[in-house]
Every structure is written in structure tokens, then in C-alpha cells.
């Protein structure tokens, strides 16, 4: 397997002994070795953990800082060969000044020493009493033992396996312009923060949001390890808060006030996702951001890391409350887009085809919500069922019920006679159920909708969703076409949840029953005749694979920019009940259909973007229609 660019990040807190450098050194060495046994790639300890943060005026006593600097050499030597990059908080003396620093250690070597830039000296903090800020340094190296080691807050440590590590310390994150901003602009993909942030009421929540949001604004992984057990509780309390975030999402959030043994918190971070985000968001860089020094270090014994858990439904929030809120917000965005289009065009009527399936049901709900926003009469919704060769009683009854319950102008146009005439005109046998047989029906329906819209002065509202656009699962100039596509950025897996949320929160009991019936109906274009029992013969998922998988592939291919091998490995973790062969086959279908279907996406109608993945050629996705899908 190729390197999939996952790395295991960790925070560590132990029962620090105030001023006992030998005991703390031993604990640090033990924790590094333990983390290495767990295949940790990068490990962050709290601020000043080698001495303890709360030593206060003892930092000024003769010999303490010198012993701490020598202890760094012992830590490096004792952990040689572990290959885990460790970040250790320690005081460091340089050119007659004392600095609060983080030492970055790898494979027997102190790679760099980073001083703290912003020293809090307010409320319970007195750091300027003992330390100088990074700006006071007049040397860019520091002598430790026999080596001159890079020193400064302008350093990125780059490992041979692609970690680009920047460092800031505690208060540095809380200021207006953190050092990590410049490091991120210079290409850092990981920021480490050894911290000693005490706890007061509600501070933990603020800290959590700060780390998470900063990882998002900087497009990187942020590893934050705060002081805990053992620090002085004379005036404050420390909780040992561990936070690992990646591009705005928390990967780990753990705290514990009292420790009997060291606590290591791990999370898998994705360097490829981070770097893809940094490349895509090209407003991110600036000339000033490149003014950093790079220190390189070799990692010889890499381990292939894979996450233990992968979200199988990246478009759908997992928890009930968040899911409800997200679904309501999406429906409101769709309705707002349509309402605005109607107001600006001066149109009063919408025309929509209703099949009794998921997509047309959601589009009808969007029109209803838009009409309520602008105070439009529901009779201006011209809802048309167009039964054909494959229409079943189940879907027809669902369509009729929905139109009635919404209060729309309900119409039925049977397309079978027109389709038969067209087949006769072009010489298509009626009993040959090929793509021509299917597409004749789709195009006939679109023609009816367009003609009715012309006659009534209305807007044809499209029903096709994001998943269908990705797969090209639509008839060119058939259901592919409309005057405004309200579902264009809603994936199939999310469509069902939005309808279910509407049923739970807004619909009358009768409408809720119909909506749940729609959600339980087999996904089908209903273009082939029903079976002998009158049931739906044609299943979309039987033909092209599960939409659960396709939406997972779509998110990771477009949003994260992952290659096929990585998507497949992640899917196997996300869907443990689906065998690898089925995942491989469905992924092959996705990759082929996505790449050959760009010509359909290149001319899709307008429609509102509501999520982080969209395929509009005027917005998020530009791709040549003749892309070499065999080799690309």
C-alpha cells in the first residue's frame, strides 16, 4: 500500500514534579518510548513540563535552567531510534536572556528550539517577571551541549515523511495575530502548542472553540497539550486539557484533573487533506508568510497509519439535534434561492414534475417553503404527474397525495401515447427496453413541463440532485434540464434526511405519513414496466451501486481530493459490513461515470449551493468534458 499520508498525533500529560528535573526527565523519556510503541508520529508535552510551569521565582535560581538544558540532551539520547517527533516545554537561556521554550526532538537530535512570543503578565500570570519574549532574542541559534541549534519562532521543522511542524506556546494562540498565522502561510501543516492554560468556569469551552476554529482558519492540524496534574494549585487549577483538531474539526478532546500515571491522547490526522485544502484556498498565502527557516529531519521507520473510524455519511451530521438543525438550514437556503429568483424575474408560478420519489418530493417542499416566504398562493404551484410505462400505483398515489396536501394546482398528463407515437416516428420497437426507450420518456416529460411553463408564464423547477449529477444518472436534455435546479447541491443520502426532518417537524400527520412512505420507496426512474405484481422493476442502486457509497466517494474525491486507493481504504473502514469487492466495483463505477459525465454538468441550470461540495461549472467544479478517464 502506498503512503496514504495519515499520521498519528498525540498529546501527553504526566504528574509533573515542580522543580524536580530528573524525575520529569525520566517521565518524559518513558512517555516518548510508550508513545513510540503506539506508533505515534508526533507527540506534544505541556509548557515548561521539564521543570513545571509553576516554578515561579525558582526559574531565577542558579543552576535550574542549566540542568534543564542538559536534560534535553539526555532526553534526545535516551529516545534515539524511537522516530517519534517529541515537543518538550523547557526554559532555555540564550545570550544572557531567559526564554520559555519548546524543544523539538527527533531520533537523538534536538532539531529546533522555539521561544514563546507573547508573555502574559495580567491577572494570575507573571511571565515577564522571569522570561523574555521571542522578539528580544538577538541570536538565531542556541548552544546546548556541543551543538548550535536553530532558535526562534520563525522555524518549521520538516520531516522526511511530509510533516511540516510549526510551534507556538500557550498565550501565542490567544492574541490577535498568532505566530501560527505566518507559519501556516509558509506551508506548515501541523502546529503544536505546549500550554499551561489554567481552568476557570467556561474557559475549557472557549479553549476548545479557539483551537478548533484556528485549525480551520489556518487549514492545518493543531495539537494542543496543556499542563495538568502536579502543577501548583496555590491560586489556579490545571486540567491537562488535550485538543487535536484538523481543518476546523476536533479529532480529540480530553481532560483529566488528577493523574496517577501519564495520559496520552492520540488522533489520526490527514496530511493530504490538509495540503489539498491549502492548495485549493489560494487566498491563503502572502509574501510575508514565506519568511521562515526550515529545519529538516529524517524519519526512518514510518508506520502506515489508518484511522479506526471514518464517517460513512460525511454529508449528514451524526447527532439528532445537529442533523435536524442542518436539514432545516439547508431547506431554508434552497427556498431562499428560489424565492429570490421568483422575485427578481417577476414570475408568480412554478412548474414541477412529481413522481412520488425522493427528489421531486424535496423540490416540491422547497417550492412550498419559498411560496410561504413571499406570500404566494399555493395554487400557483403547477404540479404535474406524468405516468408512463414504468409508473406504479404506489408512486402515483404518493404523488397525488403530496400535490393535494400542498394545495398545488394538480394536473396529470399521461405520456404513454405520445411516447408510442415518437417510437413509431423514429422506428424504435416498443418491446426493446434500451436507453432509447428510457430516454424518450424522460425527454417527453421535460418537454411537457417546459411547454406548460411557457403557457402559464412559470418557472420549471428541476428535481435532480448532486449524486445524479456526479454519476451522470440523468437524461441529457431530459430530467437533466430545468429553469432552476433547487436540489443541485444536495446529495441523495441527505435528501432523505431533509424529507424525514420535515415530516417530523413541520408536516401535518397526514403529510408526514406520505413523506415517510416516499422515503421508504425504492429509488428508481420508473422507466421500465412494473413486474407481474405491479411493483417497481427498476432499481437505481441495483444498477449502479449504493448511493451511500457513491456519496462517500463523491465527498472524498471532490472535497478532500483523494485518489482512488485512499478512498477505497477509507470506505472499507467506514462500511465494515460491505465486502471489499462490492466497494471496489462501486468505486470503479463512480470513477468511470464521474469522469465521462462532465458534458452533462457543463450546461446544468442555475441552482443554489448549500454545502461544501457542488458541481456547478460556474462555481466549484471546472473539468474538461473529454478528460482522459482511462489514465487520469
Identify whether 609 is a catalytic site residue.
no
pLDDT band per the 50, 70, 90 thresholds, residue 261: confident
C-alpha cell at 244: 487535536
Mean per-residue pLDDT, 49-78:
93
pLDDT tens-digit profile of 181-232?
999 999 999 999 999 988 888 899 999 999 999 999 999 999 999 998 888 7
Choosing from 49, 111, 153, 170, the catalytic residue is 170
Q: 164 - beta bridge partners?
A: 158
What is the gyration radius of the CA atoms in the chain, in angstroms? 30
- The domain locations on the chain are 8-297, 320-537
Has residue 569 got a pLDDT over 50?
yes
What is the pLDDT, as a whole number, of residue 629?
A: 64
Has residue 445 got a pLDDT over 60?
yes
- On whether the 8-297 domain is CATH 3.60.110.10, my answer is yes
Has residue 631 got a pLDDT over 60?
no
Mean per-residue pLDDT, 370-396:
97
Q: Which residue's entry shows cell 416540491? A: 364
Has residue 289 got a pLDDT over 50?
no
Helix axis angle, 393-406 to 358-374, nearest 10°: 10
Has residue 300 got a pLDDT over 90?
no
Angle at 256 between CA 253 and CA 257, to 5 degrees: 140
Give the integer Cα–Cα distance in Å for 334 and 361.
13
Name the least confident of 28-32, 105-109, 238-242, 427-431: 238-242
Q: What is the pTM of this model?
A: 0.90
Average pLDDT, the chain: 94
Has residue 236 got a pLDDT over 70?
yes
HEC states along 309-366? CCCCCCCCCCCHHHHHHHHHHHHHHHHHHHHHHHHHHCCCEEEEECCCCHHHHHHHHH
CATH architecture classification, 320-537: 3-Layer(aba) Sandwich (3.40)
For residue 586, CA distances in Å to 264, 552, 559 come to 39, 11, 19
Choosing from 8, 25, 34, 116, the catalytic residue is 116
What is the pLDDT, as a whole number, of residue 630?
A: 63
Cβ neighbours around 631 below 10 Å, total: 5
Mean per-residue pLDDT, 478-497:
96
Choosing from 25, 47, 246, 275, the catalytic residue is 47
Give the integer Cα–Cα distance in Å for 360 and 462.
8
Q: Which of 460, 457, 500, 498 is nearest to 367 (CA)?
A: 460
pLDDT band per the 50, 70, 90 thresholds, residue 536: confident
Give the integer Cα–Cα distance in Å for 227 and 347.
62
Q: 223 - beta bridge partners?
A: 192, 244
Has residue 287 got a pLDDT over 60?
no
Name the least confident of 83-87, 143-147, 464-468, 532-536: 532-536
- Long-range pairs, 57-64, Cβ under 8 A, ≥24: 57/129, 57/130, 58/19, 59/91, 59/98, 59/130, 59/131, 60/98, 60/130, 64/19, 64/21, 64/91
Identify whether 26 is a catalytic site residue.
no
pLDDT band per the 50, 70, 90 thresholds, residue 288: low
pLDDT band per the 50, 70, 90 thresholds, residue 21: very high
Identify whether 47 is a catalytic site residue.
yes
pLDDT band per the 50, 70, 90 thresholds, residue 325: very high
C-alpha cell at 114: 522555539
For residue 257, CA distances in Å to 55, 240, 242, 263, 267 come to 19, 6, 12, 11, 21
Amino acid at each position: 500500500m502506498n503512503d496514504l499520508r495519515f499520521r498519528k498525533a498525540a498529546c501527553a500529560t504526566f504528574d509533573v514534579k515542580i522543580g524536580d528535573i530528573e524525575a520529569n526527565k525520566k517521565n518524559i523519556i518513558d512517555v516518548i518510548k510508550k508513545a513510540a510503541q503506539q506508533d505515534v508520529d508526533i507527540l506534544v508535552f505541556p509548557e515548561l513540563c521539564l521543570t513545571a510551569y509553576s516554578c515561579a521565582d525558582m526559574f531565577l535560581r542558579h543552576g535550574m535552567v542549566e540542568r534543564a538544558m542538559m536534560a534535553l540532551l539526555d532526553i534526545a539520547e535516551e529516545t534515539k531510534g524511537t522516530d517519534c517527533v517529541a515537543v518538550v516545554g523547557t526554559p532555555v537561556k540564550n545570550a544572557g536572556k531567559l526564554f520559555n521554550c519548546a524543544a523539538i526532538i527527533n531520533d537523538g537530535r534536538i532539531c529546533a528550539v522555539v521561544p514563546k512570543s507573547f508573555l502574559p503578565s495580567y491577572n494570575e500570570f507573571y511571565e515577564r517577571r522571569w522570561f523574555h519574549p521571542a522578539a528580544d532574542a538577538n541570536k538565531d541559534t542556541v548552544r546546548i551541549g556541543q551543538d548550535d541549534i536553530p532558535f526562534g519562532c520563525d522555524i518549521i521543522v520538516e520531516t522526511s515523511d511530509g510533516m511540516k511542524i510549526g510551534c507556538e506556546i500557550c498565550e501565542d494562540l490567544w492574541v490577535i495575530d498568532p505566530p501560527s498565522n505566518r507559519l501556516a502561510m509558509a506551508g506548515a501543516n501541523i502546529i503544536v502548542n505546549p500550554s499551561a492554560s489554567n481552568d476557570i468556569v467556561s474557559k475549557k469551552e472557549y479553549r476548545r472553540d479557539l483551537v478548533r476554529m484556528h485549525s480551520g482558519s489556518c487549514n492545518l492540524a493543531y495539537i494542543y497539550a496543556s499542563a495538568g496534574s502536579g502543577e501548583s494549585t496555590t491560586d489556579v487549577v490545571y486540567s491537562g486539557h488535550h485538543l487535536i483538531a484538523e481543518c476546523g474539526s476536533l479529532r480529540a478532546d480530553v481532560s483529566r484533573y488528577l493523574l496517577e500515571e501519564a495520559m496520552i491522547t492520540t488522533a489520526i490526522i490527514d496530511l493530504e487533506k490538509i495540503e489539498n485544502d491549502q492548495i485549493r484556498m489560494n487566498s491563503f498565502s502572502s509574501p510575508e508568510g514565506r519568511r521562515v527557516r526550515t529545519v529538516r529531519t529524517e524519519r526512518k521507520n514510518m508506520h502506515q497509519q489508518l484511522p479506526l473510524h471514518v464517517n460513512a455519511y460525511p454529508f449528514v451530521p451524526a447527532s439528532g439535534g445537529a442533523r435536524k438543525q442542518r436539514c432545516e438550514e439547508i431547506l431554508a437556503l434552497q427556498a431562499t434561492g428560489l424565492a429570490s429568483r421568483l422575485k427578481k424575474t417577476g414570475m408568480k408560478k412554478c412548474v414541477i414534475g412529481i413522481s412520488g420519489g425522493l427528489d421531486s418530493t424535496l423540490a416540491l417542499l422547497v417550492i412550498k417553503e419559498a411560496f410561504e416566504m413571499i406570500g404566494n398562493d399555493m395554487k400557483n404551484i403547477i404540479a404535474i404527474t406524468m405516468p408512463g410505462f414504468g409508473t406504479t400505483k404506489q408512486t402515483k398515489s404518493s404523488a397525488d397525495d403530496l400535490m393535494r396536501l400542498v394545495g398545488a394546482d394538480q394536473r396529470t398528463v399521461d405520456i404513454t401515447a405520445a411516447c408510442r407515437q415518437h417510437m413509431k416516428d423514429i422506428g424504435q420497437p416498443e418491446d426493446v427496453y434500451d436507453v432509447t426507450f428510457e430516454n424518450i420518456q424522460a425527454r417527453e416529460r421535460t418537454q411537457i413541463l417546459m411547454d406548460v411553463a411557457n403557457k402559464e408564464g412559470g418557472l420549471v423547477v428541476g428535481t435532480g440532485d448532486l449524486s445524479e449529477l456526479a454519476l451522470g444518472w440523468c437524461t441529457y436534455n431530459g430530467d437533466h434540464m430545468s429553469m432552476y435546479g433547487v436540489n443541485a447541491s444536495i446529495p441523495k443520502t441527505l435528501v432523505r434526511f431533509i424529507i424525514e426532518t420535515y415530516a417530523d417537524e413541520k408536516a401535518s400527520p397526514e403529510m408526514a405519513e406520505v413523506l415517510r412512505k416516499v422515503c421508504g420507496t425504492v429509488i428508481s426512474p420508473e422507466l421500465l414496466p412494473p413486474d407481474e405484481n405491479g411493483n417497481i422493476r427498476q432499481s437505481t442502486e441495483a444498477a449502479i451501486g449504493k448511493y451511500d457509497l457513491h456519496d462517500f466517494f463523491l465527498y472524498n474525491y471532490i472535497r478532500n481530493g483523494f485518489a482512488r486507493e485512499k478512498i477505497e481504504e477509507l470506505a472499507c473502514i467506514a462500511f465494515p459490513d460491505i465486502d471489499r469487492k462490492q466497494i471496489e466495483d462501486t468505486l470503479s463505477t463512480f470513477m468511470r461515470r464521474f469522469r465521462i459525465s462532465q458534458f452533462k454538468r457543463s450546461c446544468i441550470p442555475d441552482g443554489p449551493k448549500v454545502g461544501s461540495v457542488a458541481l456547478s461549472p460556474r462555481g466549484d467544479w471546472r473539468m474538461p468534458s473529454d478528460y482522459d478517464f482511462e489514465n487520469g
